[in-house]
Chains A and B, each alone.
Chain A
Amino acid sequence: MTFFNDVKKILQQNIREYGMYIALFVIMIIFTITTEGTFISSRNIVNLVNQTGYIAILAIGMTLVIIIRHIDLSVGFLAGFLGAIAAIAMADPKVVQAGMNLPVYIVIPLTLVLGIVAGLLTAFLVAQMKIPSFVASLAGWLIYRGAILVVTESTGTIIINDDAFNAIGNGFVPDIPGIGILPGIHKLTLILGIIAIVAMALSEFNDRRKKLTYNFEVLPTEIFILKVVFTSAIIGGITWVLSGYQGLSWTAVIVLVVTIIYNFIMSQTVLGRHIYAIGGNPDAAELSGISVKKLIYVVFGSMGMLSALSGILFASRLQSATTTAGTLFELDAIAAAYVGGVSAAGGVGKVVGSIIGALVMTSLTSGMNLMGIGISYQYMVRGAVLAAAVIFDVATRNTGK
């Protein structure tokens, strides 16, 4: 039975990588059973994805920061602060009265640029002034906390009444109009899902073909087919569940696009390789002609930009900017990254892993909410899961390749 032996061997070698997918799957099954199916309902899954959005975006940036052996504690309140800035620019009563309010298509890029500037400031302290990132970003945490209070002092909560802006956190991609078949199903989502499956399969086949022309080692044929079928089934399943409600939310689209871009950068480009190299051994990287300083600016700048995006998503979801926006986001993002297999020692971790980590953490919250478990126990369970994930990570560190 070479087939089963092969499967076993490949699972063993990649247990670290597959571990969190399996964990997410198990958690989903448990909640589906305990909530008698409510958990897996289209409506709940769509909600879950939207709730994960602003943490997932932060977790992507945090993955890079942790890979280069740093940390950024300021991102939560930075997100909250920039969300408030965006709200003021669009909808603060005084600004509106003065006729100074800006349209959404200017506000969003402007907020992202402000985020990059904030990130570069932290990077300046870390790279130039040689301040440990924990301290530099803790200073930022305090400053942005104060800054939120300053800008919302006079008005308190700022209500945003821009429909386009609010759609980011609450709206859905519209369906193709005028198709009669399959009523109640979001056709566009279904079509996108099918395109995704075909694209995935084609790129896998293409990659395998190229590897074979070089005479490199590839997966055995049966396992390769099994892998493609399995991945297709997962994409298909998610597509089906999502299209049963209102289809893809704009939040899901944003998270998907950011994930694809960052995953591509980290796995395929020179920049990504250099970031992993710095995390693996900064001295060796520097001697290999990589400017560690420059990449600290790049990584913290990207973190700032994603903080701004996260702030926009959150403000849009609440349709307002509040004085407490951003509280504990940074710790949720850090937890998601660790659950997703990012190593605290640096140099190891994947963007997709952190997204799965974020999904695991939100699934726990969502599932326990549906079960009516109190918030106090929810914190404890999430803490235990975080500890278990890191224990698993450490225990499997030396297996596989």
Chain B
Amino acid sequence: MLTSRRAELGLRRAFLLALTGAVLTGCSATLPVEQRMSLPGLPERVELTEVPFYSQDDHQCGPASLAMALNWAGARTTPERLVPQIYLPARHGSLQPELLVATRRLGYLGYVLEPGLDSVLLELAAGHPVVVMQNRGLGWYPVWHYAVAVGFDAGHQEVILRSGRQKRHVVSLRVFERTWRRAEYWALVVLPPGEMPPTARESPYIQAVLGLEQLGHWRAAALAYRAAVARWPQSLSARMGLGNSLYATGDLAGAQQAYRQATLDHPTAGVAFNNLAQTLADQGHWQEAEQAAQRAVSLGGPLLASYKETLRAILARSSQ
């Protein structure tokens, strides 16, 4: 009896040792951690003290973290109000894409950063808090967690988080990078539309604004596209998006201006002429509208059938 109990204890000890051994080798394989909290032009220390804090209730770090980011951006919401939008009761947690959906439902821009520490540091330096996902446990025993990065200290190599029940969780870069890497460096900024993440790239940014469009947040989309046009003046998508959002809010003059600029920057883009033609027609400029529609049809492309319909409708209306 005694021996079997001892054997059992021994087995347990061996198991524990094996486990920790596996853990240590698993982690040391990924070492050394790059200590690269030094970018040219980056301040030594940043802390966004104005980011509000919501303490996490059971399992609800997702709603709490998103509420902090949204309220910082200007939305008025609470973790309680976000729970039905992003919480999955049976999973005891929230999924990353659903954080984005909830953000855009409130008319705010959610942008997922390029994976890596540089993006987070640059956003923090620009004054933007960053929602991060971490696996605070281990690969074989994940403890998925959302927190909000609100600062860093390059001298002490530390990251400052609003996390769980802690308003100010200071964690060494080494520990933070390990836990964050296990969640594939997922990081999200939540911004009032019109404010541009300094690390944004054109294509994913436009996709983010498209999400706002899809939910009918046209004013927000117009602001976001205007910022995109300022950053990427030659972007056809941004210019057309600006025109379309202004059109949807009833600002035909603004839309016309955006489409016209698109035809100048992209003289072979039939779609720019097509939308310009429609807007001119709505304003009663029939002759100009017809010219633009003709141009779209002669340029052709995959949307030719639509251009032809536009032209046909304009000819029918102008002859009335």
Whether A and B are associated in the same complex: the answer reads no
